[in-house]
Amino acid sequence: MDLLDDRKRQVVTAGEVRAVVCDRPSVAGSVTQRACSFCGSRVVLYPIADALHLVHGPVGCAAYTWDIRGAQSSGPQLHRLSFNTDVREEEVIFGGEKKLARALRELVVIHKPKGAFVYATCLTGVIGDDVDAVCRMATAELGIPIIPVQSEGFKGTKKDGYSAACRALDQLIGTGPTEGIGPYSVNILGDFNIAGEIWTIKGYLERMGVEVVATLTGDGRVDTIRRAHGVKLNIVQCAGSMTSVAKLMKEKYGIPYVQVSFFGLEDCADALYQIAKHFGDPEMMRRTKEIVRTETEAVLPELARIRKDLEGKKAALYVGGAFKAFSLVKALRQIGMQVAMAGTQTGGPADYEHLKELCDADTILADDSNPLEMASWLALRDVDLFIGGVKERPVAFKLGIGFCDHNHERKIGLAGFEGCAAFAREVHATVTSPVWSLVPRRAGRGLA
Amino acid sequence: MLDMTPATVSERSALKINPAKTCQPVGAVYAALGVHGCLPHSHGSQGCCAYHRSHLTRHFKEPVMASTSSFTEGSSVFGGMANLTQAFGTIFEMYDPDIVAVHTTCLSEVIGDDIPTIISKAREEGKIPEGKLVVHCNTPSFVGSHVTGFSAMVKGFVKYLSENTGTRTTAVNILPGWVEPSDMTELKRIVAIFGLPAIMLPDTSSVLDAPATGEHAFFPKGGTTLPELKAMGDARATLSLGSWASLDAATLLETKCGVPFQELDLPIGLAATDRFIQSLKALAGVDVPVQIEDERGRLVDVISDMHQYLSGRKVAIYGDPDHVIALTEFCRDMDMLPVHVLTGSVGNAFETRIHAILADSVPNANVKAQGDLFLLHQWIKNEPVDLLLGTTYGKFIGRAEDIPLVRVGWPILDRVGHSYFPTVGYLGSLRLAAEIISAIQERQDRDAPDHAFELVL
């Protein structure tokens, strides 16, 4: 298909020497799949379940982020309500600070939360509300930490919103007691407990003899985050969203971190080994090897069965951050699938270079793609599977292609060893579904 | 665990909890999708556009295309003219729509971008190719709700494109309001039975209920066409269905093009559909066709057969004003008791109208415009109901209070069918009545002790 000249530099095939141009704003007028800073901040902080999340801005920003991410909590569910100042014309003229202060007072009466995050939006940013000042006053008056999040949408993409969320978390970390935290202690950063995934990971760590102090932010709690600085190691899973918190904690508290992924057998085993290696306890390493062995053995036969059906089939993926793309390319290879296209919303230059190494020479790599491009590539390469999020799903289905949600709306945990099997099962079910033989474009090809 | 609502209503002047509305721009997107070959364009930060597309996709399970001006911090200081001008270039080069429907956001409104000026400059600079159209509407998110945003976009199309050429046609304009593609199909079917040529704006049928063909149509085959949009100005009359969503455009068609209009409710339920049918009858100058009379008869038949299950059942109704008004009247006519009626949208007229509908049957009903679902939940805690009637967002209340929910309105994020089976007209109302009755009977079966659990209901 014809790409805008301006876009061409953001698309390469993996075998090309040319680098993917990325880390730039979307061209105005494109049907970009990207979102804004507010969205980034909101998805990162939202899973903290006993905090109150107040959106200071128009109703839309609150309505669209009300319980859209299946970030599960084992206890409180306060994060699943939608709190909003519903800024109206009057505040646009006279300022919204008073309304924000009133809203904070009103909500503390009703919900008595452990803490609150106040999200700035485009609107309150452009009318110049001093959200910081209101939060400071409210913290003093109401006796709970009320933390401003500088998440004005126009400040950038989701990635910039992640940074704003990290700065907000930084205000909370280090404010609680660290007594009783053991030598083999970690925080898990960058897992949001979609479909309960953090519980799977926590299970492995506990079996290794590792103490998980805080989970940021999946199944998160205000009090554990306040004492997160007491650990000996940070485990960073979603690198794009949480590395800056890990870096901050390294600078401030001298806590080292490892970047890992729990998606795919290879990456998951590697993650556990890295953690065991860090603590240097031979007994822990022995237990870890045992876990990797038993867990891998438990899923390998099924993966092999599935692989037989999927061998040689083609996949395309379009995800938010690059780390997930790396894991997915490897996980797909494990079940015999080739990656025909891989794209991300917010990958950086080094990420795309790494993707080139991982992918086949003819794999299309695209930064900040749009549905028109993607639909043409999916048809051109005749792929059997598309992996993406809510906006990509119907495009795949219209083309008669299998789809796997690896974003907010996935309903089955895909992390960990058992997650690999779940992923393989889900991919197998959709790729080999008889429904695609009903779609005219693919009719008559027979079932997979 | 999900029940975090205290029964005692405390004073809230600044805080909204669990909204019963969203912001204007998503309505503008939905309306623009109902015009053929039209690309909705969001003049603001790109998150707005992403949210609107995602939310519409969750409701329709369909691809939703819209472009964005992708505001940056710089645009928020220097204005969005450069972004919008560049956007036109990108849009026509890359997606080649026939028409671009620009709507504003809170950000571009506060900055004060003057969209008509930007459009005419872009045209002068050749960024808008010859023969291509651009329309706009203002949809600041701090005013109105998604419903008024829809209304503003429909009005925008009329303002830019409808023309009175001096020759009246026999066509009737149907402004269907914010309803499903299935409803638009059903309305067209009913109007055609009367033999009336009709133009519908917007028309999302065959856009957001598109069949699977194995291809992805960036511009699906449905939607009001540009010749139709123009010809609306020559029509002999306009039927405005649902005042919140349609009245502004209907009024403009009258003042701008001299097309008289009739203000009607959404034709959901017996009485509202009767009024719609009476209008069609008068316009067509014919008797009500037998086919339509029979459809009415079937609805009456089902309500009669099942009235013992409906009588006296308390119901809470919430959602968009046009829907809620029609649903309240329908429930009243089926001898149900709408004890709590709420919309998130603005308008004293809403409260007045609901009180009027319920004056005899439920004079003390709780009625509120600009409410939220937290308040609705509190009302229900203080006066329980047998049924919830509204959007998916009520499912939290339904679970907390163990009350069945019949989904109707926008958005429905967790079920399928609404975009394919109508709720307007007698047949659509019959379907809705059947869903209500089924929900009540399901509950009766579930709760019945063994000795009272019966095969026949």
Q: Which CATH architecture has domain A5-20+310-442?
A: 3-Layer(aba) Sandwich (3.40)
Query: Cβ B106–A123 below 8 Å, yes or no?
Result: yes
Residues of A in contact with B49 (CB under 8 A): 32
Query: Tens digits of per-residue pLDDT, A222-247?
Result: 999 999 999 999 999 977 789 999 99
Q: What is the pLDDT of residue A446?
A: 53
Mean of pLDDT over chain A? 93
Residues of A in contact with B70 (CB under 8 A): 25-30, 32
- Establish if B190 belongs to a structural domain: yes
Question: A323 pLDDT exceeds 90?
Answer: no
Q: Which CATH architecture has domain A185-290?
A: 3-Layer(aba) Sandwich (3.40)
* B106 is annotated as an active-site residue: yes
Q: What is the pLDDT of residue A2?
A: 62
* In chain A, % of residues over pLDDT 90: 81
Query: Cβ B54–A64 below 8 Å, yes or no?
Result: yes
d(CA B180, CA B185): 9
Q: Does B90 touch chain A (CB under 8 A)?
A: yes
* In chain A, % of residues over pLDDT 70: 98
Q: How far is B165 from chain A (nearest CA, A)?
A: 34
Interface A–B counts its CB contacts (< 8 A) at 261
Q: How far is B89 from chain A (nearest CA, A)?
A: 8
* In chain B, % of residues over pLDDT 90: 96
- Mutate which of A122, A127, A346 to test chain B, going by most B C-beta atoms within 10 A? A122
- Report the CATH number at residue B315: 3.40.50.1980
The residue from B287, B307, B340 where one domain ends is B287
- Establish if B427 belongs to a structural domain: yes
Query: Tens digits of per-residue pLDDT, A325-372?
Result: 998 999 999 999 999 999 998 889 999 999 999 999 999 999 999 888
**Claim to verify: residue B240 and residue B193 sit in the same structural domain:** yes
Same fold, A5-20+310-442 and A37-172: yes
Query: Tens digits of per-residue pLDDT, A180-215?
Result: 999 999 999 999 999 999 999 999 999 999 999 999
Q: What is the pLDDT of residue A185?
A: 98
**Claim to verify: residue B364 and residue B243 sit in the same structural domain:** no
- Mutate which of A23, A134, A154 to test chain B, going by most B C-beta atoms within 10 A? A154
Q: Taking residues B109-128, what's their average pLDDT?
A: 96
Question: B453 pLDDT exceeds 60?
Answer: yes
A414's tokens:
């895909």
User: How far apart, in Å, do the first and last CA atoms of chain A sit?
Assistant: 28
Give, in order, the Cα–Cα distances in Å from A32 to each of A5, B67, B109.
16, 7, 22
Q: Taking residues B141-160, what's their average pLDDT?
A: 97
Interface of B with A in 389-418 (CB under 8 A): 393, 396
Mean of pLDDT over chain B? 97
Residues of A in contact with B29 (CB under 8 A): none
Query: Cβ B70–A25 below 8 Å, yes or no?
Result: yes
Q: Does B14 touch chain A (CB under 8 A)?
A: yes
Question: Cis link prior to B165 (omega < 30° from 0)?
Answer: no
d(CA A76, CA B1): 7
**Claim to verify: residue B303 and residue B436 sit in the same structural domain:** yes
Q: What is the pLDDT of residue A448?
A: 45
Question: B60 pLDDT exceeds 50?
Answer: yes
Which range has the worst mean pLDDT, A58-62, A314-318, A371-375, B177-181? A371-375
Give the residue from B36, B34, B33 showing the smallest Cα distance to B67.
B33
Give, in order, the Cα–Cα distances in Å from A142 to each of A84, A194, A314.
18, 32, 56
The residue from B287, B322, B346 where one domain ends is B287
Question: A444 pLDDT exceeds 70?
Answer: no
The residue from B258, B287, B316 where one domain ends is B287
Question: Cis link prior to B411 (omega < 30° from 0)?
Answer: yes
Each domain of chain A, given as residue ranges in start order, spans 5-20+310-442, 37-172, 185-290
**Claim to verify: residue B120 and residue B252 sit in the same structural domain:** no
**Claim to verify: residue B121 and residue B227 sit in the same structural domain:** no
Question: A26 pLDDT exceeds 50?
Answer: yes
Query: Cβ A28–B83 below 8 Å, yes or no?
Result: yes
Longest CA span, chain A: 70
- Establish if B410 belongs to a structural domain: yes
Question: B1 pLDDT exceeds 60?
Answer: no
Q: Taking residues B356-377, what's their average pLDDT?
A: 97
Q: Taking residues A20-48, what's their average pLDDT?
A: 90
Q: Taking residues A86-102, what's their average pLDDT?
A: 96
Query: Tens digits of per-residue pLDDT, B206-220?
Result: 999 999 988 899 999
Instruction: Name the residue facing B110 among A27, A127, A156 (closest C-beta).
Output: A127
What sign does the CA torsion over B283, B284, B290, B292 have?
negative
Q: Does B132 touch chain A (CB under 8 A)?
A: no
Instruction: Name the residue facing A102 among B14, B68, B107 (closest C-beta).
Output: B14
Of these residues, B106, B172, B324, B339, which one is catalytic? B106
Q: Does B368 touch chain A (CB under 8 A)?
A: no
Q: What is the pLDDT of residue A441?
A: 82
Q: In terms of residue numbers, what domain contains B447?
A: 294-451
Q: Taking residues B372-381, what's their average pLDDT?
A: 97
Query: Cβ B106–A154 below 8 Å, yes or no?
Result: no
> What superfamily does domain A37-172 belong to in CATH?
Nitrogenase molybdenum iron protein domain (3.40.50.1980)
Let me know how many helices (H) and strands (E) chain B has, helices first: 18, 14
* B29 is annotated as an active-site residue: no
Q: How far is A234 from chain B (nearest CA, A)?
A: 31
Instruction: Name the residue facing B107 among A87, A123, A372 (closest C-beta).
Output: A123
d(CA B210, CA A335): 33
**Claim to verify: residue B190 and residue B312 sit in the same structural domain:** no
10 Å CB burial of residue B124 (0-12, 13-18, 19+) is exposed
Amino acid in position B30: Y
Query: Cβ B48–A36 below 8 Å, yes or no?
Result: yes
Q: What number of other Cβ atoms are within 10 A of residue A18's Cβ?
A: 11
Q: What is the pLDDT of residue A439?
A: 87
Residue B78 dihedral angles phi and psi, to the nearest 5°: -95, 0
Q: What is the pLDDT of residue A205?
A: 98
Query: Cβ A63–B10 below 8 Å, yes or no?
Result: no
Query: Cβ A29–B94 below 8 Å, yes or no?
Result: yes
Q: Taking residues A262-279, what's their average pLDDT?
A: 95
Q: Does B419 touch chain A (CB under 8 A)?
A: no
H-assigned helices in B209-269? 226-231, 243-257
**Claim to verify: residue B266 and residue B331 sit in the same structural domain:** no
- Establish if B456 belongs to a structural domain: no
Give the residue from A5, A13, A1 showing the smallest Cα distance to A343.
A13
Q: Which residue of A has its CA nearest to B112?
A: A126
Q: What number of other Cβ atoms are within 10 A of residue B398's Cβ?
A: 18
When pLDDT is cut at 50, 70 and 90, the band that residue A406 belongs to is confident
Q: What is the pLDDT of residue A422?
A: 95
**Claim to verify: residue B322 and residue B350 sit in the same structural domain:** yes
Residue recorded with tokens 């890990």 = A246
**Claim to verify: residue B237 and residue B299 sit in the same structural domain:** no
The total of structural domains in chain B comes to 3
Q: Does B375 touch chain A (CB under 8 A)?
A: no
Query: Cβ B75–A154 below 8 Å, yes or no?
Result: yes
Residue B201 dihedral angles phi and psi, to the nearest 5°: -135, 125
Residues of B in contact with A128 (CB under 8 A): none
Question: A443 pLDDT exceeds 80?
Answer: no
